[in-house]
Amino acid sequence: MQSKWLENHREANGTRRVLAKRYRKGCMFTNPIDACWRCQPDWEKKRRRLAKCALGFGKGTTGGKAGRKYLVTDPSDDDMVNPKRGTLRHAVIQTQPLWIVFARPMIIRLNQELIMTSHKTIDGRGAHVVIEGGAGITIQFVENIIIHGIKFRNIVPGPGGLIRDSAHHFGLRTPSDGDAISIFGSHHIWIDHCSFSKCYDGLIDVIKGSTAITISNCHMTHHDKVFLFGASDDHFEDRKMQITIAYTHFGKGLVQRMPRCRWGFFHIVNNDYTHWLMYAIGGGTNPTILSEGNRFIAPPDPRAKEVTHRQIPDSPWDSGTWISKGDMLVNGATFQQTPTALHLDAYHDKLAFPMAGKFAGRATKYAGPLKCTRLGC
């Protein structure tokens, strides 16, 4: 097993050398996920190359790679039970795998939560797609979903009612919470190069035994409670939760929960934390949190220098394993670790190998949706 670790570290170091070389040539990628597909002039013809690029716990997520392309031509969202062909809602309820793309730039206001079926990719590259002013996306009891290149802002609760959740079923839904993306009882989910701001509840919530998830290359701004991973101490199924957050910029106007974790294993790697008002990473009952190669720039407030937050000392809220490896702590930031002998061998195939924390700014340089043209992204 030790030789396997050394082999992987050599591979990671080789990737860093390639990244540096490409960056000097002006090619616009600065982390291993983007190195997998960007800077290819034929990216638009070979969009599905993206499907082999996920790293971390969401590795192996291929979305709608096995299906046909579906072109969204209509930004409307008028009929929740019989959605119009050519709309995003009509696309995501189909039973077969689909790679969903957009005919032109569009702003989509969802009248109710958008409920997805399995094996779908929502690919916003080249179109400037914004989901704004309405409900968000619900990923519930499904698998194999990629969401790439979408802006989410000003998401509000949906009122509930009759909503179609597949081509063959619709049912009565209660009002949605106002999350941009809610992941419930699902696995193999990859959210990449999206941006999030000003939602009613959370930006991304992951609950009820969801696992095998990567959130990467995203840009978060202007929100209070950013990520909730595990909604209740009583949800013991969340012990299997495994989530990677990588190459993401936590920017202006953020307060807390980047993320807030219960149970599960959370690998937080090469992210850039430039703003928070209360804390960056919070924990509930018995999480395992491995923070590697992040940059934490503490706010001026002397009461908010601690990166971590555990609420009540010596209670279940002060449990779990907290590790900081290679993080860069700036402006008085501190990270309270726990003594541990954590063995990572069982996770080595899914852990994203980090660059040093001083490179977090570079790794997140192109966080958020990309400005793609026919010549490249």
Q: One of 257, 262, 295, 310 is an active-site residue; which one?
A: 257
For residues 130 and 109, give the distance between their C-alpha atoms in angstroms, rounded to a whole number.
Answer: 9
DSSP structure string for 39-76 = S-TTTTTTGGGGGG---GGGTT--TTTTSEEEEE----
For residues 307 and 333, give the distance between their C-alpha atoms in angstroms, rounded to a whole number.
Answer: 6
131 and 150 Cβ atoms separated by less than 8 Å: yes
CA angle 25, 193, 350 (to 5 degrees): 90
248 and 271 Cβ atoms separated by less than 8 Å: yes
145 and 118 Cβ atoms separated by less than 8 Å: yes
For residues 140 and 252, give the distance between their C-alpha atoms in angstroms, rounded to a whole number.
Answer: 30
DSSP structure string for 79-112 = -SSSPPTTSHHHHHT-SS-EEEEESS-EEE--SS
End-to-end Cα, the chain, rounded Å: 38
243 and 219 Cβ atoms separated by less than 8 Å: no
Q: How many CB atoms lie within 10 A of CB 61?
A: 26
214 and 54 Cβ atoms separated by less than 8 Å: yes
257: annotated active-site residue: yes
Using alpha carbons, select from 296, 279, 362, 361 the residue that is nearest to residue 331: 296
For residues 121 and 142, give the distance between their C-alpha atoms in angstroms, rounded to a whole number.
Answer: 13
b/e string for 315-347 if b means 16 or more Cβ within 10 A? Answer: eebbbbbbbbebbbbeeebebeeeeeeeeeeee
Catalytic residue list:
257
